[in-house]
Chain A
């Protein structure tokens, strides 16, 4: 596993980091236990590697919402893996499965989870996604993180549609001590973003985080509205937006693929934020999204507080899904 050690976070750097890592594990614990027990149970209930075992394995993947096609391909490849030929007991499959999960996710690339924030100039981050996935909460969490890193952060209330959305961001702004650029409910979200960029430039902000209204990816007019917002940013800041983060709810099923495809077409999605991973859902669809649309997962949301956000840690995630119970 040495190859993948670069993805291991320096967890013991200081106590704070350790605390966070623990929270991550706590958040993942339910996920971990559920799946791991299933995987362990599976391996102990079989004496040899059989077709039925692979079928049950498929069920475990499906249950985690890893896409159907991705799962079926994965299992096929696993069966054909030359290492599997030499396997005598089901337990020996375990490291091979984990290995192959890494391969599936990494695809021989170095996946960078860090945000593309410029050192000496304004960076604009755009948050997109369907309704109710947690965009506004995620913005607050990322803002909190950036503030802690010493950045001067501005928020733009680009969800002018949903009742109370502007207020929601304002409440977070107050809690974080940040300014929020907003207009009346029902105004053009692009104009809010335009104004926010002007203010951010004039007042020399480091980062501008743009909230947008939740929109279902099959609503043409709403997707056109998003395209316009993207265009406005591009016009004002030629290399912006520096990040476009697609927020995906961990409870999402196969529709996550359709979401990734549609949002990627309209904007230059640079990464995924997987929210609500502290629940019982596994959020496996993000693995399929990575597989099919090459979008890396940048953050995971693990609670409702502003601290409840962690960089996506592939090792933690995969071991969380399939790992050993040694922690």
Chain B
């Protein structure tokens, strides 16, 4: 993946703060830098990013973040909430004319996918609105554009009105409307040639078509992979035509699609549909709320944060963190942590919420019973042993007794105590690490004085093990 997700970025920024307790305004600034880069990498327009960061920073300076134990997560949540607010929570439906023919005009730059989406849209409206669409081939410039629409019409069994390339697009549209009336087509979709927004002659042609057709929807096709210029294009088309909605095409690519946010923010034009593949049924109603986490590149990390916030007791977590720092971490603390994690659901479920984990999880067997075993082993320790892990660690007879008591094998008990010690050491040292060392470690490089990790249990990477 060429891009790091915002959660990873914030994670790195946060490590600068590790072990310092509460955060201050400078820390927030550091985090805002990461938010900025992340949004820019998602192709969100730089002006939008600026305004956005200003809002998020103000909100982040509130108590919610400053007093939180998990400031990174809280900032992430604010970013997500703001994004969702900007994008709009709900899908905007298409304007259908309730009493008569609905006319839809498609416009956009060259190669943005107008013709393909004219076909997709026709098929969608026939299926979901039970309509009888007519496609109009008004792109007389690009070689074989008319043929392309005719071919799509054949594939879909939908009527196409075409007059070749010798007539003016305005005339074709005029005739097509009469044709639709005669053939009782109640939806007319006009495909136009791709054009640059600065091409005055061709933009005038679109205005002429608009005046003739009086469309109920003027949809701008925008390539989801568009960069900074998406805003200018949308503004220019909107100024000329008063666009009523966007189709975000090629959203099945691996783009983060920041153009969607930029357009929404700068023009307030809703995105109504998105193209999700080359097949003609691959058009979907656009759900703005789902776009937010995609722009952030975070999968369902936010769901996870919600779960964690619901289930983790901050004071308790804080106590454990403090104890850890002082080297007092014992089996009681460990047990408490386990319980907090368990409250969030099964381990497999939690892991599946992490971006990129879905597929890999299929082949991994995660045994939630391991938690139960660990609990039973700790349950068979005496109070003294739980408070003072050294006792168990150094005595074979204690381990044997615990194994018998918990019904687990001796090696299992031995394993647990060893892992516990390693984890304890690692976490303690990690809290004292500099940022450079942290980064090295996350890249798997050697860091002096770090104990060798014996069994990778996925713990200890984050401070305290309770941070996700």
> What sequence of 0s and 1s flags, for each residue 122-155 of chain B, a beta carbon within 8 Å of any chain A beta carbon?
0000000000000000000111110111111001
Q: How far is the CA of A68 from the CA of B259 in the complex (A)?
A: 15
Contact with A134, one of B110, B196, B227, B236 (Cβ below 8 angstroms): B110
Tell whether A294 is near chain B: CB-to-CB under 8 Å: no
Residues of B within 8 A of A130 (CB): 225, 250, 253
Q: How far is the CA of A164 from the CA of B112 in the complex (A)?
A: 16
Tell whether A133 is near chain B: CB-to-CB under 8 Å: yes
Q: How far is the CA of A278 from the CA of B197 in the complex (A)?
A: 11
- Give the contacts of B85-140 with A (CB-CB under 8 A): 109-113, 115-116, 119
Q: Cβ of A167 and Cβ of B2 under 8 Å apart?
A: no
Q: How far is the CA of A278 from the CA of B195 in the complex (A)?
A: 11
Contact with A253, one of B141, B152, B226 (Cβ below 8 angstroms): B226
Stretch at the interface among A58-66, A92-100, A194-202, A312-320: A58-66
Q: Cβ of B143 and Cβ of A167 under 8 Å apart?
A: yes
Q: Cβ of B37 and Cβ of A285 under 8 Å apart?
A: no
Contact with A164, one of B37, B148, B229, B259 (Cβ below 8 angstroms): B148
Tell whether B252 is near chain A: CB-to-CB under 8 Å: yes
B216 to chain A, nearest CB (A): 26
Q: Cβ of B253 and Cβ of A281 under 8 Å apart?
A: no
Tell whether A280 is near chain B: CB-to-CB under 8 Å: yes
Q: Cβ of B143 and Cβ of A280 under 8 Å apart?
A: no
> What sequence of 0s and 1s flags, for each residue 194-237 of chain B, a beta carbon within 8 Å of any chain A beta carbon?
00111000000000000000000000000101111110110010
Q: Which of B141, B148, B152, B228 has the most CB of A within 10 A?
A: B228
Known A-B contacts A253-B258, A253-B259, A261-B2; A281 and B227 likewise in contact (beta carbons under 8 Å): yes
B39 to chain A, nearest CB (A): 10
Tell whether B43 is near chain A: CB-to-CB under 8 Å: yes
Residues of B within 8 A of A278 (CB): 196
Stretch at the interface among A12-20, A77-85, A168-176, A230-238: A168-176
Known A-B contacts A130-B250, A279-B197; A251 and B142 likewise in contact (beta carbons under 8 Å): no
Tell whether A163 is near chain B: CB-to-CB under 8 Å: yes
> What sequence of 0s and 1s flags, for each residue 239-267 of chain B, a beta carbon within 8 Å of any chain A beta carbon?
00000000000101111101100000000
Q: Cβ of B223 and Cβ of A132 under 8 Å apart?
A: yes
Q: Cβ of B226 and Cβ of A252 under 8 Å apart?
A: yes
Known A-B contacts A72-B37, A163-B151; A257 and B227 likewise in contact (beta carbons under 8 Å): no
Q: Cβ of B144 and Cβ of A164 under 8 Å apart?
A: yes
Known A-B contacts A251-B109, A276-B110; A65 and B144 likewise in contact (beta carbons under 8 Å): no
Tell whether A191 is near chain B: CB-to-CB under 8 Å: no
Count A-B pairs with CB separation below 8 Å: 147
Tell whether A113 is near chain B: CB-to-CB under 8 Å: no
Q: Cβ of B229 and Cβ of A251 under 8 Å apart?
A: yes
Q: Cβ of A167 and Cβ of B111 under 8 Å apart?
A: no
Q: How far is the CA of A297 from the CA of B449 in the complex (A)?
A: 48
Q: Who on chain B is nearest to A72 by CB? A: B37
Q: How far is the CA of A219 from the CA of B149 in the complex (A)?
A: 24
Q: How far is the CA of A284 from the CA of B258 in the complex (A)?
A: 17
Q: How far is the CA of A82 from the CA of B42 in the complex (A)?
A: 33
Q: Who on chain A is nearest to B50 by CB? A: A59
Q: Cβ of B109 and Cβ of A279 under 8 Å apart?
A: yes
Q: Cβ of A218 and Cβ of B253 under 8 Å apart?
A: yes
Q: Cβ of B148 and Cβ of A162 under 8 Å apart?
A: yes
Q: Who on chain B is nearest to A279 by CB? A: B196
Residues of A within 8 A of B2 (CB): 254, 257-258, 261
Q: Who on chain A is nearest to B146 by CB? A: A164
Q: Cβ of A131 and Cβ of B250 under 8 Å apart?
A: yes
Q: Which of A217, A255, A256 has the most CB of B within 10 A?
A: A255
Q: Cβ of B143 and Cβ of A217 under 8 Å apart?
A: no
Known A-B contacts A131-B111, A280-B198; A171 and B253 likewise in contact (beta carbons under 8 Å): no
B112 to chain A, nearest CB (A): 6
Tell whether A304 is near chain B: CB-to-CB under 8 Å: yes
Q: How many residues of B contact A (CB 8 A)?
A: 50
Q: How many residues of A contact B (CB 8 A)?
A: 48
A60 to chain B, nearest CB (A): 9
A136 to chain B, nearest CB (A): 8
Contact with B111, one of A68, A134, A216 (Cβ below 8 angstroms): A134
> What sequence of 0s and 1s flags, for each residue 278-310 of chain A, a beta carbon within 8 Å of any chain B beta carbon?
111110010000000000000000001000000
Tell whether B12 is near chain A: CB-to-CB under 8 Å: no
Residues of B within 8 A of A132 (CB): 110-113, 223, 250
Q: Which of A276, A278, A304 has the most CB of B within 10 A?
A: A304
Contact with B254, one of A69, A131, A171, A258 (Cβ below 8 angstroms): A258
> What sequence of 0s and 1s flags, for each residue 230-268 of chain A, a beta carbon within 8 Å of any chain B beta carbon?
000000000000000000010111111110010000000
Contact with B227, one of A133, A170, A219, A253 (Cβ below 8 angstroms): A253
Q: Cβ of B113 and Cβ of A251 under 8 Å apart?
A: no
Residues of A within 8 A of B179 (CB): none
Residues of A within 8 A of B155 (CB): 163
Tell whether B46 is near chain A: CB-to-CB under 8 Å: yes
Tell whether A7 is near chain B: CB-to-CB under 8 Å: no
Contact with B46, one of A63, A170, A258 (Cβ below 8 angstroms): A63
Tell whether A161 is near chain B: CB-to-CB under 8 Å: yes
Residues of B within 8 A of A261 (CB): 2
Q: How far is the CA of A217 from the CA of B252 in the complex (A)?
A: 10
B445 to chain A, nearest CB (A): 21
Q: Cβ of B254 and Cβ of A255 under 8 Å apart?
A: yes
Q: How far is the CA of A69 from the CA of B227 in the complex (A)?
A: 15
Tell whether A30 is near chain B: CB-to-CB under 8 Å: yes
Q: Cβ of A161 and Cβ of B278 under 8 Å apart?
A: yes
Tell whether B41 is near chain A: CB-to-CB under 8 Å: yes
Q: How far is the CA of A164 from the CA of B155 in the complex (A)?
A: 12
A284 to chain B, nearest CB (A): 8
B194 to chain A, nearest CB (A): 8
Residues of A within 8 A of B227 (CB): 65, 251-254, 256, 281, 285
Residues of A within 8 A of B158 (CB): none
Q: Cβ of B43 and Cβ of A170 under 8 Å apart?
A: no
Q: Cβ of A131 and Cβ of B198 under 8 Å apart?
A: no
Tell whether B40 is near chain A: CB-to-CB under 8 Å: yes
Q: How far is the CA of A132 from the CA of B225 in the complex (A)?
A: 11
**Selected A-B contacts with CB under 8 Å, 5 pairs:** A163-B155, A216-B250, A251-B109, A261-B2, A279-B197
By Cβ-Cβ distance, the 5 closest A-B pairs, closest first, are A253-B227, A164-B148, A132-B111, A171-B143, A167-B144
